Structure 1
Amino acid sequence: MEKLIKPRSHFPAPWTLKGEGIIMVYNFKKDWLEKNGLWRLGPSEVYMGGLGFVMLVNYHESPVGPYKELLIIPGKYNPHKRQSISHIFVDSENSTENGRYNWGIPKETVPMIWQTEGDLDTIGIGSEGDPILYCEIKTKNIPFPATTRLLPIRLHQVLGGKTFLTDPNGSGWAKLAKIEKMNIDADRFPDISQLKPLLCFKVNPFTMHFPLSQIHEHQE
């Protein structure tokens, strides 16, 4: 079992983060979840449904400085009826170490690019010669308020012999968006490239709060 080690530069919760993000909302089907190993995340964690999210985030401000992020939340899982982040990449080792230690989020560190020209965001996850995900997202014009009160996130993460329960919250201004291009290495991230999201929008700017987790030690 992996042991969680306190980061050399520890920034304890709570965190407040600011930046921009692209959120894709899905209703994942059972055959796709099974194909991508997401139907069951652990011995007792079985998919129960609910909306799934893929998020691309460009944090301009955080306790560990600016960083970028890609993650997927497939939906809710029994028996805890909470969501779990199954895959997540960031481009900051400080974010990786603190995210794993503070909230049990299974972050991995890879290089990323995020370029914006007008209403087009071009995002690359992984090295240029070995990309995990590449996408081009075009944003539309009319802004509207967005908040996690409408799409709440209640996380249940298991890492290093501990269970972490975390209820982040955030708000910002959003615009509808469209995926113009998407390429994925399906060996390293669930392949959403052939799926049509129920909704895609860009939130800019936003503020996100990650509170302290409720942490439960597992009995040996």
Structure 2
Amino acid sequence: MPENHSIDAGKSLKLYKKAPAPWKLKGQGIIMVYRFSKKWIEEHAGLPLHLQGKYKGGLGYVMLVNYEESPVGPYKELLLIPGKFKGSGKQSITKIYVDSESSTQNGRANWGIPKETAKIHWNEEGNTTLIRVQSKELELFSCEVKSFGFRFPASTGILPIDLHQRWDGVDYYTKPRGSGKAKLAKVNVKQVHKDFFPDISLQRPLFAVKIEPFQIFFPKPTFHE
């Protein structure tokens, strides 16, 4: 995956609703938990320059989220957190798509999250969820998720998120807090366009969960320049 390969928006930026931090969000989501190899991350994850050669390891996440409530309205997202990086010792979102331009611009401004805007289709059929991410007619990612078993509590205490993001030369540090009710899930990754998202189709997750409902709080970040 080329470093920082991104979608061409094809048009000038429209006006968007500004919604400063903090944010409270509610919805449902799928988390695939991995332990990626350093070699795979360095070669295939499309890391930004400031993170190249600094991968430390730990748990990595691929997340698919359907936010039903947020300060900018409902939106959906696909993201990758490879794990922790040397230096800060924290995690970083290195690739993320959302289907709301307001979410994209506020995510960059509030927390330095490198969001890009794409179409995301999320269809529920019983215990099966079908998700597709598209840019124009190009399919970037698709998967089928089947949840099963009993519900159990899940939170960022169990699957922690502690972020260091760099955007326009500024370092943002944010520790979201979230909780919800989860079921185990099986995820069948059907399509990944490796030029736009790391090809996780041959990477086997440790486990996956579908969390519904959940709520998450994104506080104001701390900064370093």
Please, what TM-score do these two structures have when normalized by structure 2? 0.90
| Equivalent residue, structure 2, for 1:30 | 38
Contact 1:41 1:86 in 2 (8 A): no
Unmatched 5+ residue regions in structure 2? 1-14
Correspondence list, 1:186-197, <5 A: 186-197=194-205
Percent same amino acid at aligned positions?
52
1:149 Cα deviation after fit: 0.5
Unmatched 5+ residue regions in structure 1? 1-6
Contact 2:16 2:101 in 1 (8 A): no
1:180 Cα deviation after fit: 3.0
Contact 1:170 1:209 in 2 (8 A): yes
Taking structure 1 as reference, are residues 14 and 39 closer, same or farther at Cα in structure 2, changes over 3 Å only? closer
1:144 Cα deviation after fit: 0.4
| Equivalent residue, structure 2, for 1:94 | 102
Q: Which moved more, 1:109-118 or 1:174-183?
A: 174-183
| Equivalent residue, structure 2, for 1:107 | 115
Give the whole-Å Cα distance in 2 for the aligned partners of 1:8 and 1:127: 20
Deviations 1:172-209 (A, max 9, x none): 00000001342100110001011110010100000000
Correspondence list, 1:1-220, <5 A: 8-37=16-45, 41-42=49-50, 46-127=54-135, 129-217=137-225
1:41 Cα deviation after fit: 4.9
RMSD: 1.8
Aligned positions, number: 212
User: Helix, strand or coil for the counterpart of 1:143?
Assistant: strand
Q: Which moved more, 1:26-35 or 1:40-49?
A: 40-49
| Equivalent residue, structure 2, for 1:3 | none
1:136 Cα deviation after fit: 0.5
Consecutive aligned runs of 4 or more in structure 1 exceeding 4 Å deviation: 37-41
Give the whole-Å Cα distance in 1 for the aligned partners of 2:135 and 2:55: 32
Aligned-partner residue type, residue 86 of structure 2: N
Give the whole-Å Cα distance in 1 for the aligned partners of 2:156 and 2:81: 14
Contact 2:42 2:55 in 1 (8 A): no
Q: Which moved more, 1:125-134 or 1:74-83?
A: 125-134
1:99 Cα deviation after fit: 0.3
User: Helix, strand or coil for the counterpart of 1:42?
Assistant: helix
Aligned-partner residue type, residue 206 of structure 2: L
Give the whole-Å Cα distance in 1 for the aligned partners of 2:175 and 2:150: 29
1:122 Cα deviation after fit: 0.1
Give the whole-Å Cα distance in 2 for the aligned partners of 1:75 and 1:190: 14
Aligned-partner residue type, residue 109 of structure 1: T
1:10 Cα deviation after fit: 1.3
User: Helix, strand or coil for the counterpart of 2:33?
Assistant: strand
Please, what TM-score do these two structures have when normalized by structure 1? 0.92
